[in-house]
Amino acid sequence: MTKLLKIEWEKIKPYTFFWIFSALYFFILCGAFYIAFHLMEFNGIKATNVSWHTITYLAGYFNFFLVLLVILYSTNEYQFNTYRQNVIDGLSRKQLYVSKLLIHLIITLYSTLSILILFVLMNLLSSQPFSMDIFNTELYYLFYHFIKCFCLLSLAYFITLVFKKGIISMLLFVVVWMIDVVLSMATNFSTLELLPFSGCGNLILNPMLAIPLGYSDLPAESIVMYSVIAYCVIFNLLSYWWLTKKDLKA
C-alpha cells in the first residue's frame, strides 16, 4: 500500500492543476462558511446553534469541485498512457485500482477534515464563547458527508474509466444527475428517491426546509444511508471490473 501511495504521490506532485483545485476547494469552502456564519449571526442565530447538519449540507454544493478533480486527474492518466506504463513497469491491474481507490479515499478524507477544521475555526472566531458541545450533537453528519462525497467520486471515476475523455465524462456526469433528479421528482418520493444522486441528496436534507416542507414521504434516513453505501460498493466493483478487464489504451 505504501508503494502504491508513493507512486501516486510522484504523479500528483508535479500536477499543478491538482494542487490548485484542492486549494481552491478549501478556500471556497472557507468563504462559504464565513458568509454563512455571519449571515446567521446577523439574523440573530448564535454561532453555537449552527449545526453539523447545516454545515455539511452547505458543503455538499461544492462536491462538484472534487468530482471535477477526480475526472481530470483520471483522464490525465489515459491521455499520457500512464495506466499502460504502470503495467509495463510491473504493477498489476488490481494494484492500479487500489491506488486509485486510496486517492479517492484521501480526497474524501481531505474534504471531511476541511469541514471539521473550518467549522471549529468559525466557532472560535465567532462572537460567542467557544463550547465543546459542538462535538456532542449531530457529528454523524460528517460521516454522512464522507460517504456522500465518496459515492459521487466513485461514480465519477467509473464514468471516466468507460469514456476516458474529460469533457465527455463531465457532461455525462451532469446528464446522469439531471435524469436522476427528474425521475425522482416525477415519482413523488417513491423508491426512485434512492437513486444515486437523489440518495446522496436525501442523506443530508436542507435543514431550513426539511421540517417546514414535511418530507415525511422520503425513505428513512437509515435506508438512504445504506443505499448510498451500497452504491459506493457497486461503483467501485464496476470500476475494478472495468480496469482489470478492459483495454487501458486511451
Q: What is the pLDDT of residues 140-185, one digit of tens each?
A: 899 999 999 999 999 999 999 999 888 999 999 999 898 887 777 7
Whole-model pTM: value is 0.89
The answer to whether residues 203 and 144 touch, using CB atoms and an 8 Å cutoff, is yes
Whole-number pLDDT of residue 216 = 45
**Is 58 among the domain residues?**
yes
> With b meaning 16 or more CB within 10 Å and e meaning fewer, what string describes 176-187?
bbeebeeebeee
Residue 136 has pLDDT above 50, yes or no: yes
Query: Length of the chain in residues, anyone?
Result: 250
**Is 101 among the domain residues?**
yes
**Is 250 among the domain residues?**
no
**Is 135 among the domain residues?**
yes
**Is 153 among the domain residues?**
yes
The answer to whether residues 100 and 250 touch, using CB atoms and an 8 Å cutoff, is no
**Is 155 among the domain residues?**
yes
Residue 60 has pLDDT above 50, yes or no: yes
- How far apart CA 86 and CA 29 sit, in angstroms, is 35
> What percent of the chain is predicted at pLDDT more than 90?
37
The C-alpha cell 443530508 sits at 204
What domain range is 141 assigned to?
A: 2-245
Q: What is the pLDDT of residues 12-36, one digit of tens each?
A: 888 888 899 899 999 999 988 888 7
- How far apart CA 35 and CA 29 sit, in angstroms, is 10
Which pLDDT band holds residue 63 (cuts at 50, 70, 90)?
very high
Whole-number pLDDT of residue 42 = 59
Could you give the number of structural domains in the chain? 1
Whole-number pLDDT of residue 127 = 61
